[in-house]
Amino acid sequence: MEHSLGYNLGMLVGVLAGALVGVGIIALLFKLKVMDLTFDERQERARGQAYKYGFWTLLTCLLLYGFSDMVLGRWCDVLAGAMLCVAAALIVFGSVCIVKDAYLSLKEKPRTVMTLLAVVSVLNLAIGAMNWKNGRVFRDGILTYSAANGICGAITLTILVVYVVNYLLDKQEAGE
């Protein structure tokens, strides 16, 4: 499907604006000391393992995506396929970090991170639902890049659920 130059430029401006807003939010979180990436040696080792598992998950998903495209034909556009692969890798990375107590730095507060994950999940899932309702997620039977917000919402929601479950289990173990 061909798009006009104006449409493509609009998409580029939208993506750049979103990236700038994201960088601005991250910079603000660092300035307000909500995010402080100070990890001890044990956490650094655990994060290294999590990166390794996430990396191998990403490679496996990319290969599976490529093979599925060859065998099944085009079932999603490239950006949607890449987002699905990144989603799997980020969920693996985040889950391993959470389980090994290496997700938060020494100075971050669990409730702040849970709140941030909840807000990001709700916003992305809401945009994803609007895209679904407007019929933009699938076009001619192909998953489109309009699924990206829903995928991002699913990533953050999954990580939030893993984090809350792990937090409650740790709290229960500490109480016994």
3-state secondary structure of 49: helix
Percent of the chain topping pLDDT 70:
94
Q: Which residue has the higher pLDDT, 86 or 36?
A: 86
Tell me the residue ranges of DSSP E strands in the chain: 138-139, 142-143
Give the separation between CA 69 and CA 81, rounded to whole angstroms.
Answer: 10
User: What's the whole-number average pLDDT of the chain?
Assistant: 89
Per-residue pLDDT, 3? 73
pLDDT digits (tens, 9 = 90+) for 130-174: 999 999 999 999 999 999 999 999 999 999 999 999 989 988 888
Phi/psi of residue 39, each to 5°?
Answer: -115, 145
At 34 the pLDDT is 60
> Residue 120: which residues within 8 A CB-CB, separation 6 or more?
152, 153, 156
Backbone angles phi, psi at 138, to 5 degrees: -120, 135
What is the average per-residue pLDDT within 106-118? 83
End-to-end CA distance of the chain: 60
Which letter does DSSP use for residue 1 in this model?
-
| Structure confidence at residue 60 (pLDDT) | 98
pLDDT of residue 159: 96
Given a cut of 60, whether residue 1 has pLDDT beyond it is: no
* 3-state class (DSSP) for residue 142: strand
pTM of the model: 0.81
Closest CA to 134 of 150, 122, 120, 119: 150
